[in-house]
Amino acid sequence: CFLSLQKREISNFDYLMYLNTLAGRSYNDYMQYPVFPWVLADYHSETLNLTDPHTFRDLSKPMGAQTVERKQKFIQRFNEVEKNLSAQCHYCTHYSSAIIVASYLVRMEPFTQTFCSLQGGSFDVADRMFHSVKSTWESASRDNMSDVRELTPEFFYLPEFLTNANHFELGCMQDGTVLGDVQLPPWADGDPHKFIFLHRQALESDYVSAHLHRWIDLIFGHKQHGSAAVEAVNTYHPYFYGDKIDLNNIKDPLIKGTILGFISNFGQIPKQV
């Protein structure tokens, strides 16, 4: 399959779906939903230049290391873990979880009901809802130390998730903005179909094709855990590594329940492939 990718016999999208399947990710499990990368860093230009390397996200680095300042803060966190904490890691949140998936796709059923169920029966505070591609990128790549989320496959083929066709009352933000359709980058001209078309073009671009293997190393490969992950600023709370924990050897039901709840609510690292 990798040789087919090198020869351009399959698309980057298909290859990522293949890897997700090998790693145990599935559309049928929100806790292990297929994970896709942010590939762009330009959500402000009027036109999208796919020949300019600055248009793209640095695929060799996790979301927590997209800026030098942010990277240093996470390294500092790793190095200054207090002795009473049981886990030394860069990130205590995950790049893919049930709530992240449901929040992205909240404007479509059955994700609407799933999101509300995870939120205790109602929508979240409007300012925390997914409402803008640009602001979500800025949060996950720069501004929010508890946000390192990646994307779902729908960002590359499904324009419907970006529109509030069901007219859900998603609330009103503090600045008075009523939540409806997702705000798109200027280069999409307010058209979800154009956004998906250009976003898919970006995924299949020469730049991403030449660098995608670096992101794959972080998520599915040798930089997923261990010393290579530490060097890459890519370590997560031990509970996220579900296949590394032998629950059968944990006799305390409280501890076992805590670990299972942690994995269910906050995400799970894919199986290494």
Give tens-digit pLDDT for 81-136. Answer: 755 456 789 998 899 999 999 999 999 999 999 999 988 888 888 889 999 999 99
How confident is the model over 150-205, as pLDDT tens digits? 999 999 999 999 999 999 999 999 998 899 999 999 999 999 999 999 999 999 99
Q: In the structure encoding, which two tokens stand for residue 216, read together?
A: 């794959």
Place of tokens 């990718």: 5
Identify the CA nearest to 171 among candidates 123, 101, 242.
123
User: Among positive and negative, which fits the CA dihedral 33, 114, 268, 137?
Assistant: positive
CA distance 119 to 147: 17
Section 65-94 average pLDDT:
85
Residue-range domain boundaries for the chain: 1-264
Structure letter (DSSP) for residue 178: B
Dmax (CA) of the chain: 58
CA distance 23 to 18: 9
Helix, strand, coil shares of the chain, percent, nearest 5, are 50, 5, 50
Q: Are 219 and 33 in contact (CB under 8 A)?
A: no
pLDDT of 84 reads 47
Q: Are 210 and 64 in contact (CB under 8 A)?
A: no
pLDDT of 239 strictly over 50: yes
Q: In the structure encoding, which two tokens stand for residue 33, read together?
A: 């939903």
Q: Are 62 and 44 in contact (CB under 8 A)?
A: no
Q: Are 35 and 270 in contact (CB under 8 A)?
A: yes
The CATH number fitting domain 1-264, selected from 3.40.50.1110, 1.10.1540.10, 3.40.50.720, 3.60.15.10 = 1.10.1540.10
Q: In the structure encoding, which two tokens stand for residue 183, read together?
A: 């705000």
Which pTM was predicted? 0.90
pLDDT of 224 reads 94
CA distance 111 to 195: 21
Q: Are 1 and 17 in contact (CB under 8 A)?
A: no
pLDDT of 80 strictly over 60: yes
pLDDT of 5 strictly over 70: no
